[in-house]
Amino acid sequence: MLSRSALTRVARPILRSSSITKCISTTTIRNSDHAAPTLYGEGAKAGTVPTDENQATGLERLQMLGQMEGIDIFLRKPDFSKKGTMASPIMVPSLAETRIIGCTGYPPEDHRTLWYQLKNDGKKARCKECGCG
């Protein structure tokens, strides 16, 4: 059996090797180019007032970048392409459990806007005023 002093003489050079004492910050994950795109602005230069483009972050920045490209990120425009029926309803995509929608009738502006809360359970709903589905 090795004595304690013999064991420490053998272990010291191993513990001092550069591969073991390397910092965690040099891992390939940190240095890789495959990070998710960030939604942060570059910020304002020193001594200037930041604009919305400089300081917007998250969903606000995503919406702003979409508007610059002419894309409606949140699909906020109403669908007037057809009258929704129970056989062919107007689909309202959502990842949430519920979604609030408004009906203005068909043709558009046929009646005042009526607001409904739809559940994401697959059941079809119909407007009580005009019957659109």
Rg (CA), the chain: 30
Residue 130 marked in a binding site:
yes
pLDDT value, residue 24: 55
Asked whether residue 83 falls in the same domain as residue 130, the answer is yes
**Confidence grade of residue 34 (pLDDT, cut at 50, 70, 90):** low
Higher pLDDT, 74 or 41: 74
Q: Is the pLDDT of residue 90 over 60?
A: yes
pLDDT value, residue 103: 86
Asked whether residue 104 falls in the same domain as residue 133, the answer is yes
Residue 34 marked in a binding site:
no
Rounded to 5°, the CA angle 42-72-68 comes to 40
Total number of domains constituting the chain = 2
* Helix ranges, the chain (H): 4-15, 28-31, 52-55, 58-69
Q: Is 64 a domain residue?
A: yes
Quick one: DSSP state of residue 101?
Answer: E
Question: What is the C-alpha separation between 101 and 124, in angstroms, rounded?
Answer: 13
| Structure tokens given for 56 | 């917007």
Asked whether residue 82 falls in the same domain as residue 123, the answer is yes
Q: Which residue, 103, 99, 107, 92, is CA-closest to 128?
A: 103
Residue 23 marked in a binding site:
no
pLDDT value, residue 109: 80
Asked whether residue 64 falls in the same domain as residue 82, the answer is no
Q: Is 2 a domain residue?
A: no
Mean pLDDT for 32-61 is 80
Beta bridge partners of 114: 103
Range of the domain at 103: 78-133
**Confidence grade of residue 101 (pLDDT, cut at 50, 70, 90):** confident
